[in-house]
């Protein structure tokens, strides 16, 4: 009886081993579930969700906006999954390098300085800086802000423009975590003007029609282009994103989402 039980036990173990081997081979023949870029890998996207219309939080707590729609459309085209996390502007950059996130998506302007540390997709949106002042302000140009207090989003291109105008160490430059907060600080009387991205400025004014604001365009501001950001050297992910981006350019989805087709100029 004991010998018969041992024989049965050996057979049972052998069947389990064979079953385990079959499961492993099945996984190989299906979708790649490894952590090195397989179809089922979830790529984490870091954003700062107070940058409407590109990203904001809706009534249900979801991150929504142009960037979300564009990247989700790209992901659908190339068969990858993305997960959005609202982590704050500075963290969008630091978490890429720390490998806590895979993609930066937050209306990020492609600049030569940023390209030294990160890789960017091809552009998906054209933007331009604007000056925002109270409606009763007498300011008419960027040059008139040389000795005035300027509120900006920290480390954004508006911040760069303000430092270019006033100097790197100017105490008249007030840097805040978000562009809407910078505008509110100006309205509170703590700054004379704001320098920020055009679409975000107009979205703020649309959402706050009671705020008495005036927009100034200045020829000193050049066109800017947004791209999705990845870790330097992550060519596998970058190629996937560019492939998907090209597809939604070609099929008209990008134009539908952004209401823009600057790349065809």
HEC readout, 87-145 = CCHHHHHHHHHCCCCCEECCCCECCHHHHCCEEECCCCEEEEEEEEEECCCCCCCHHHH
Q: Which tokens is 146 given? A: 């040389």
Q: Which tokens is 188 given? A: 């509170």
Tell me the C-alpha to C-alpha distance, in Å, between residue 91 and each of 11, 12, 36, 43, 230: 55, 53, 23, 16, 13
Q: Which of 14-28, 152-166, 179-193, 216-230 has the lowest mean pLDDT?
A: 14-28
Q: Rounded to 10 degrees, what is the CA torsion of 139, 144, 146, 147?
A: -60
Gap between the Cα atoms of 157 and 159, Å rounded? 5
For residue 215, is pLDDT > 60? Answer: yes
Instruction: Assign residue 247 a region (left: φ > 0; alpha: ψ between -120 and 50; beta: otherwise).
Output: alpha
Per-residue pLDDT at 260 = 67
Mean pLDDT (whole number) for 198-207: 94
Mean pLDDT (whole number) for 43-65: 96
Gap between the Cα atoms of 74 and 160, Å rounded? 30
Please count the CA atoms within 13 angstroms of the CA of 35 that sit on its side-chain side.
Answer: 3
Termini Cα distance of the chain: 85
Q: Which tokens is 231 given? A: 């870790």
For residue 167, is pLDDT > 70? Answer: yes
Query: All domains of the chain, ordered by start, with CATH?
Result: 42-124+227-264 (3.40.190.10), 128-223 (3.40.190.10)
Q: What are phi and psi of 104, to 5 degrees?
A: -105, 125
Mean pLDDT (whole number) for 19-36: 34
Burial class (CB in 10 A: 0-12, 13-18, 19+), 49: buried
Tell me the C-alpha to C-alpha distance, in Å, between residue 215 and each of 15, 48, 200: 74, 24, 12
Gap between the Cα atoms of 24 and 26, Å rounded? 5
58-114 pLDDT tens trace: 999 999 999 999 999 999 999 999 999 999 999 999 999 999 999 999 999 999 999
């Amino acid at each position: 009886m004991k010998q018969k039980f041992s024989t049965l036990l050996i057979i049972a173990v052998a069947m389990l081993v064979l079953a385990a081997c079959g499961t492993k081979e099945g996984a190989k023949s299906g979708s790649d579930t490894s952590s090195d870029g397989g179809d089922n890998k979830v790529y984490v996207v870091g954003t700062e969700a107070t940058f409407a219309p590109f990203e904001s939080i809706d009534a249900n707590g979801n991150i929504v906006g142009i960037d979300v729609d564009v990247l989700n459309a790209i992901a659908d085209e190339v068969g990858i999954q993305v997960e959005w996390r609202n982590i704050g502007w500075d963290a969008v950059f630091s978490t890429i390098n720390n490998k806590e996130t895979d993609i930066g998506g937050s209306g990020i302007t492609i600049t030569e300085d940023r390209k030294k540390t990160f890789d960017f997709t091809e552009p998906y949106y054209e933007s331009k800086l604007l000056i925002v002042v109270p409606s009763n302000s007498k300011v008419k140009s960027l040059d008139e802000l040389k000795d005035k207090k300027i509120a900006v989003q920290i480390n954004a291109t508006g911040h760069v423009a303000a430092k270019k105008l006033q100097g790197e160490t100017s105490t008249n430059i007030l840097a805040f975590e978000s562009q809407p907060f910078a505008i509110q600080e100006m309205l509170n009387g703590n700054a004379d003007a704001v320098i920020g991205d055009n679409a975000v400025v107009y979205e703020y004014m649309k959402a706050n029609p009671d705020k008495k604001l005036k927009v100034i365009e200045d020829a000193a501001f050049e066109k800017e282009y947004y791209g999705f950001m990845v870790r330097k050297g992550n060519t596998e992910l970058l190629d996937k994103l560019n492939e998907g981006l090209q597809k939604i350019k070609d099929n008209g989805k990008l134009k539908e989402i952004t209401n823009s087709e600057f790349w065809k100029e």
